[in-house]
Homo-oligomer: A and B are copies of this chain.
Amino acid sequence: MTKVDKIPEPTIKRLAFYSRPLEDLLESGPPVISSEKLADSCGVHPAQVRKDLAYFGEFGVRGVGYDVRDLLREIKRILATDKPVYLCIVGVGNLGTSLIENENFKKRGYRFKAAFDSDPEKQGEKLACGLIIEPNHRIREVCREKEIEIGVIATPPRGAQRVCDLLLDAGVKGILNFAPMQVRTTGDCRVENVDFTVKLENLAYHLHRLDESEG
């Protein structure tokens, strides 16, 4: 099906990006969109859109464009988000709670099936979503039982590696890490890091740099 074995990493990132405006169009918008329009909504080059999609097949109609509904379905299929994905979260602080409640996760089929915290005060507590906070030592058992594929780390950096090890032991195949440090995993578990402050530092750098070039 695919043209090449190795799909560029940036392409995968952009596919997720493309799906955002497509979801909007699905509700209220024309049923067809051109690579140029879609590129505009995402801030990329039109040829980039076409090339990204071409890795996976021919989804468009020449002279017309892409059918919004079809394209969105294809992208979701490619990204494997056409079925629910089961998650667990470790660390139910402010951040953890906001992730569990997050509308975007729910909307896109990401389901939190378990929540863990090392703080005995919190263990046993029932969350708004109905989940009960369990102690970290149950990660292995619960994840295997509930067939959890992805673990979300929302602990302070100090405990992140320990939590990561527990998740690996539980057979989790992906980790979304919100702790501002690099966690080490084995080859068959992939990590994605979300570090807000990296983005802020990026902004800070460019803000300052702007001053320099103007001064």
Chain A interface size, as a band, is: 35 or more
List, in ascending order, chain B residues with CB within 8 A of A13's CB: 198, 202
Return the contact of A199 from the options B194, B197, B203 (Cβ within 8 A).
Answer: B194
Could you say how many copies of this chain the assembly holds? Answer: 2
Taking CB atoms and an 8 Å cut-off, the chain A residues in 185-215 that contact chain B are 188, 190, 192, 194-210
- Given A180-B104, A207-B150, A210-B188: A196 touches B194 (CB 8 Å cut-off): yes
Contact mask A63-87 → B, CB, 8 Å, 1/0?
0000000000000001111000100
Which residue in B12, B21, B85, B94 is a CB contact (below 8 Å) of A97? B94
> Which of B12, B42, B156, B196 is in CB contact (< 8 Å) with A176?
B196
Q: Does A43 contact B (CB under 8 A)?
A: yes
Q: Which of A21, A108, A207 has the most B CB atoms < 10 Å from its CB? A: A207
Given known A-B contacts A94-B102, A98-B97, A196-B102, A202 and B16 have beta carbons under 8 A apart = yes
Interface residues of chain A: helix, strand, loop or mixed (majority): helix
With the chains together, A36 CA to B113 CA distance in Å?
A: 40
> Chain A 1-20, CB within 8 Å of chain B: the 1/0 string?
00000000000110111011
A82-102 to B contact mask, C-beta < 8 Å, 1/0: 000100000001110111011
Q: Please, which residues of chain B bring their CB within 8 A of the CB of A149?
A: 207
Known A-B contacts A110-B197, A182-B41, A197-B104; the reply to A78 vs B205 at CB < 8 A is yes
Pick the most buried of A43, A104, A156, A190: most chain B CB atoms within 10 A of its CB.
Answer: A104
Q: Which residue of B lies closest to A93 (CB)?
A: B98
Starting from the known contacts A20-B181, A190-B206, 17 additional A-B residue pairs (CB-CB under 8 Å) come to: A12-B205, A16-B195, A21-B181, A21-B182, A79-B201, A94-B97, A94-B102, A95-B98, A102-B196, A104-B180, A104-B196, A108-B200, A110-B197, A110-B200, A150-B203, A190-B203, A194-B194
| Chain A residues close to B by CB (< 8 Å) | 12-13, 15-17, 19-21, 24, 41-43, 78-81, 85, 93-95, 97-99, 101-105, 108, 110, 149-150, 156, 173-176, 180-182, 188, 190, 192, 194-210
